[in-house]
């Protein structure tokens, strides 16, 4: 069933623009396409330089997270930001206390990817109460608790449901619509995992020859993905396809499949999401079938949105990021986009 987040994002999707980058966002807002919303109650953002910005990362255990953190480090000087960074090491409660620490330091702006939708929603309200504007990047929070445009400026991120659709569409084609699928889910309770599952499952439901024979969380981590795949392979030796919610778990699954004496890409088709360097290399090696890109480069977009917001411009409640798609047909010329 669609979460509040999903429903609200689907509603938002009908109203939103789809900027490719800051310049397109500027163009769209300039032409007045941005959704009008009651943002009067949102805290204001100063135009001063330097601006003290808190960036609270969820964990740093994969290339995607490292690339996201780097994009904030890289943009800081250009944007006139003095960035305070924390790393929650995969813990919701640490991410909450990291953000509480930033609120106590009176940062001017808070930017973070909420590790899970529900546990990280109340802290958005606390920041608003303390007069600190918030931009959520990558993942969103539970919209029944904290709402974009009312409690925080905006959500900047990909359409995770669409990523699930694109992964499933590829798998339907690659298998002729006949597959017994193991699904390796991301972090339970994360909007990225909820919506990637929803999107993929929607397409599978329309294809009677496709069955999800097992679905379990690998927490977006390579080694957890490998362990879960090892166990599921023993229980389901008839598996013919794997859908992993990110490249790291897919790479873990590839290791497990090889250890079980099967050939990834031949005996078992694999599709995933992220577009990391490791994912692209695995496509080139014929072991991974396809990867839907999920861009981690939020620094420049967040800078652009913050500057516009500080000047008093209306910001859409969802600044949607467009993602590429990689398979054997374009992997060689796409290597430059891996991270």
**Smallest separation, CB 47 to ligand AHR (Å):** 30
**Smallest separation, CB 234 to ligand AHR (Å):** 26
User: Which of residues 64 and 112 has its CB atom nearest to ligand AHR in the complex?
Assistant: 64
> What is the spatial distance between Cα 101 and Cα 107, in angstroms, rounded to a whole number?
9
User: Which of residues 185 and 248 has its CB atom nearest to ligand AHR in the complex?
Assistant: 248
Q: Are 164 and 199 in contact (CB under 8 A)?
A: yes
Contacts (Cβ under 8 Å, ≥6 apart) of 165: 199, 200, 202, 203
Q: Is 110 exposed, middle or buried (0-12, 13-18, 19+ CB in 10 A)?
A: buried
Residue of 102, 108, 59 lying closest to 220 (CA atoms): 59
- For ligand AHR, the binding residues (CB under 6 A) are 62, 64-65, 138-139, 192, 220, 246, 248, 273-274, 294
Q: Are 184 and 243 in contact (CB under 8 A)?
A: yes
**Smallest separation, CB 266 to ligand AHR (Å):** 26
| Distance, C-alpha 37 to centroid of its chain | 24
**Smallest separation, CB 273 to ligand AHR (Å):** 6
User: Which of residues 3 and 62 has its CB atom nearest to ligand AHR in the complex?
Assistant: 62
User: Which of residues 8 and 276 has its CB atom nearest to ligand AHR in the complex?
Assistant: 276
Residue of 119, 295, 99 lying closest to 190 (CA atoms): 119
**Smallest separation, CB 164 to ligand AHR (Å):** 12
> What is the spatial distance between Cα 141 and Cα 56, in angstroms, rounded to a whole number?
14
**What residues does 325 pair with on adjacent strands?**
292
User: Which of residues 59 and 169 has its CB atom nearest to ligand AHR in the complex?
Assistant: 59
**Smallest separation, CB 219 to ligand AHR (Å):** 9
**Smallest separation, CB 297 to ligand AHR (Å):** 12
**Smallest separation, CB 228 to ligand AHR (Å):** 15
User: Which of residues 8 and 158 has its CB atom nearest to ligand AHR in the complex?
Assistant: 158
Coil, helix or strand at residue 232: helix
User: Which of residues 73 and 266 has its CB atom nearest to ligand AHR in the complex?
Assistant: 73
Coil, helix or strand at residue 93: helix
> What is the spatial distance between Cα 164 and Cα 209, in angstroms, rounded to a whole number?
18
> What is the spatial distance between Cα 34 and Cα 309, in angstroms, rounded to a whole number?
12
DSSP string, 222-268: HHHHHHHHHHHHHH-TT--EEEESSHHHHHHHHHHHHHTT--BTTTB
User: Which of residues 291 and 317 has its CB atom nearest to ligand AHR in the complex?
Assistant: 291
Q: Are 171 and 271 in contact (CB under 8 A)?
A: yes
Q: How far is CA 324 from CA 147, 155, 330, in A?
A: 28, 20, 11
User: Which of residues 269 and 295 has its CB atom nearest to ligand AHR in the complex?
Assistant: 295
> What is the spatial distance between Cα 226 and Cα 249, in angstroms, rounded to a whole number?
7
**Smallest separation, CB 82 to ligand AHR (Å):** 26
């Amino acid at each position: 069933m669609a979460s509040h987040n999903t429903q609200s994002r689907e509603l938002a999707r009908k109203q939103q623009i789809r900027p490719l980058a800051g310049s397109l966002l500027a163009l769209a807002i300039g032409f007045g396409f941005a959704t009008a919303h009651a943002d009067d109650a949102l805290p204001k953002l100063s135009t001063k330089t330097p601006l003290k910005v808190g960036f609270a990362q969820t964990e740093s255990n994969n290339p995607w997270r490292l690339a996201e953190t780097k994009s904030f480090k890289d943009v800081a000087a250009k944007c006139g930001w003095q960035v305070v960074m924390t790393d929650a090491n995969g813990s919701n409660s640490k991410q909450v206390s990291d953000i509480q620490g930033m609120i106590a330091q009176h940062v001017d702006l808070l930017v973070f990817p909420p590790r899970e939708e529900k546990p990280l929603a109340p802290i958005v309200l606390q920041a608003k109460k303390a007069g600190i504007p918030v931009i959520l990047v990558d993942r969103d929070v539970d919209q029944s608790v904290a709402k974009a445009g009312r409690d925080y400026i905006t959500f900047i991120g990909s359409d995770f449901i669409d990523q699930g659709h694109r992964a499933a569409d590829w798998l339907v084609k690659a298998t002729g619509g006949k597959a017994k699928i193991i699904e390796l889910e991301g972090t339970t309770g994360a909007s990225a995992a909820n919506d990637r599952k929803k999107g993929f499952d929607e397409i599978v439901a329309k294809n009677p020859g496709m069955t999800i024979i097992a679905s379990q969380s690998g927490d977006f981590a390579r080694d957890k993905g490998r362990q879960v795949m090892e166990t599921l392979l023993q229980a389901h030796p008839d598996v013919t396809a794997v859908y992993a919610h990110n490249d790291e778990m897919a790479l873990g699954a590839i290791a497990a499949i090889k250890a079980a004496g099967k050939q990834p890409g031949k005996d078992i088709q694999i599709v995933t999401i992220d577009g990391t360097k490791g994912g692209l290399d695995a496509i080139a090696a014929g072991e991974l079938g396809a990867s839907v890109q999920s861009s981690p480069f939020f620094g420049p977009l967040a800078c652009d949105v913050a500057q516009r917001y500080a000047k008093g411009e209306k910001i859409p409640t969802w600044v949607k990021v467009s993602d590429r798609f990689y398979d054997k047909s374009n992997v060689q010329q796409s290597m430059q986009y891996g991270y």
